[in-house]
Amino acid sequence: MKQYDLIVIGGGAGGLTVAAGAASLGARVALIEKEAQLGGDCLHFGCVPSKALIKIASEVYEAKKIKEWVCLASKKYTIWR
């Protein structure tokens, strides 16, 4: 039977940090995760996806503002070619 110094339950941000930290100090670590992928809430539902949505929303907002400026400018000035 394998022997471990530390068994971490949950491969989210907390569990991964603890497991990696302990392993880097030489501990034999077992990490138990119930889902198919490691990463937990932060990677799959929280921090990372929410930052991506905020970034996209901000880009869409900027694009709409630029569109308004272009419409305003084209009404105010005659463009000579």
Ligand X SMILES: Cc1cc2nc3c(=O)[nH]c(=O)nc-3n(C[C@H](O)[C@H](O)[C@H](O)COP(=O)(O)OP(=O)(O)OC[C@H]3O[C@@H](n4cnc5c(N)ncnc54)[C@H](O)[C@@H]3O)c2cc1C
Residue numbers at the binding site for ligand X (CB under 6 A): 9-15, 32-35, 40-42, 45-47, 50
CB under 8 Å to 2, separation ≥6 — which residues? 28, 30
* Residue 7 or 71 with smaller CB distance to ligand X: 7
Total Cβ atoms within 10 A of residue 10: 17
| Shortest distance in whole angstroms from residue 66 CB to ligand X | 28
Residue number, 47 or 72, with CB nearest to ligand X: 47
31 touches 11 (CB < 8 A): yes
The distance of closest approach from Cβ of residue 55 to ligand X in the complex, given in angstroms and rounded to an integer, is: 12
